[in-house]
Amino acid sequence: MAGRAEHMPRLREEYALAAIRQWFIERPEQLDATSPHLQEFARRVLASSREPEPKELTLVALRSRFHNLRSRVLEANPDDPWWQQQRRLDQSDVEGLVGARILLQGASVPCRACGTNRWYPVDDLRTQMRCNGCLSTFPLPVAPDWSFRLNELVQSGLKWHGLLPTVHLLYVLLQRNSDGYPTRSFVTIPSQNLFEGDSDSPYTELDILALQDGEFLIGEVKSRPEAFRPEGFAKLLEVAKALLPGRLVIAAEGEAWPPEVEGQIDALKQSLADRDVIVTKMLLRWRR
Ligand SMILES: [Zn+2]
């Protein structure tokens, strides 16, 4: 079995499936080739897996979004420790995100000749601007409104590649080893697609491949515990048999494992016991 870094979006199918499931929950009536709802159905499935348009938000708008998100989370879970302590989005938080190039700073500037309003990153702003549309030059407005746009690579990682739970699990592994002690050494490589023999289509993907304090560790992580499926566990079993890691970590953002997923993890544990592969399950929660 060989690995290659992931390039293909792997969550599009999951988003489309979720939209289809949601459709049938909302409208359990039959959907067939002559149904008048077919066009709306197609539109929803397409929209669920479309690349989002980049959006710019001013500092005020970012703070308002943060406030709304905080209210929503605390309404659903009043004891959430991270959101209880993080009361507002400080300027230093935004500066940190801009410094790490997760947010890009820039401004929307209208062209005086054709009127096209376009967003430019701060490094592309100059006293004489050149319109990308009509190619005429015009002076930069004296006081443009700064706004912030999510780095498109980060956006695509978040939307399509499950970046956040993967980073979260890496962070947790970086803090503590399997014995509960602070991790002394940690080396990891990016998520990999795994291929059987010379096959061009991936057999499966692996989120985590790491060496933690000398132990070879592989892991699968999802944004919700419910997202684990039996066919995924069957593939993980084959991967673990081929790679023989010291530890296989199954992790998800959330508060509880559904009983059927827990049963599948136990079965995986038993199937790998005689190969000295320890299977660990882990629920991830953000803490400050
Ligand atoms: Zn123009």
| 167, pLDDT greater than 80 | yes
Mean pLDDT of 179-193: 91
Confidence of residue 1 (pLDDT cuts 50, 70, 90): low
pLDDT of residue 166: 93
From ligand 1's centre to the CA of 123, what distance in Å? Answer: 19
Distances (CA, A) of 65 to 61, 62, 71, 133: 6, 5, 10, 31
Domain boundaries, the chain: 2-48, 56-155, 162-284
| 27, pLDDT greater than 70 | yes
Buried b (16+ CB within 10 A) or exposed e, 107-133: bebebeeeeeeeebeeeeeeeebebee
pLDDT of residue 244: 95
CB 220 within 8 A of CB 252: no
- DSSP label at residue 133: T
From ligand 1's centre to the CA of 99, what distance in Å? Answer: 31
Tens of pLDDT along 210-265? 999 999 999 999 988 998 999 999 999 999 999 999 999 999 998 899 999 999 99
| 204, pLDDT greater than 70 | yes
From ligand 1's centre to the CA of 153, what distance in Å? Answer: 28
From ligand 1's centre to the CA of 106, what distance in Å? Answer: 18
Share of the chain above pLDDT 70, in %: 94
Tokens 């010379």 belong to which residue?
198
Helix locations, the chain, DSSP H: 12-26, 38-48, 59-76, 81-85, 91-99, 152-160, 163-175, 230-243, 259-272
Please name the fold of domain 162-284. Answer: type ii restriction endonuclease, domain 2 (3.40.1560)
Mean pLDDT of 198-211: 90
Confidence of residue 76 (pLDDT cuts 50, 70, 90): confident
pLDDT of residue 8: 46
Q: Dihedrals φ, ψ of 235, to 5°? A: -70, -40
pLDDT of residue 245: 96
From ligand 1's centre to the CA of 126, what distance in Å? Answer: 15
From ligand 1's centre to the CA of 133, what distance in Å? Answer: 5
Mean pLDDT of the chain: 89
> Which of 37 and 52 is assigned the larger pLDDT?
37
| 60, pLDDT greater than 90 | yes
Distance CA 196, CA 238 (A): 11
Q: What is the dihedral of CA 41, 45, 51, 54, to 10 degrees?
A: 50
| 5, pLDDT greater than 60 | no
Confidence of residue 7 (pLDDT cuts 50, 70, 90): very low
Q: Dihedrals φ, ψ of 161, to 5°? A: -115, 10
Buried b (16+ CB within 10 A) or exposed e, 227-246: bbeeeebebbbebbeebebe
Share of the chain above pLDDT 90, in %: 59
Confidence of residue 198 (pLDDT cuts 50, 70, 90): confident
Q: What angle do CA 147, 150, 156 make, to 5 degrees?
A: 160
| 10, pLDDT greater than 70 | no
Which of 65, 58, 49, 141 shows the shortest CA–CA distance to 103?
58
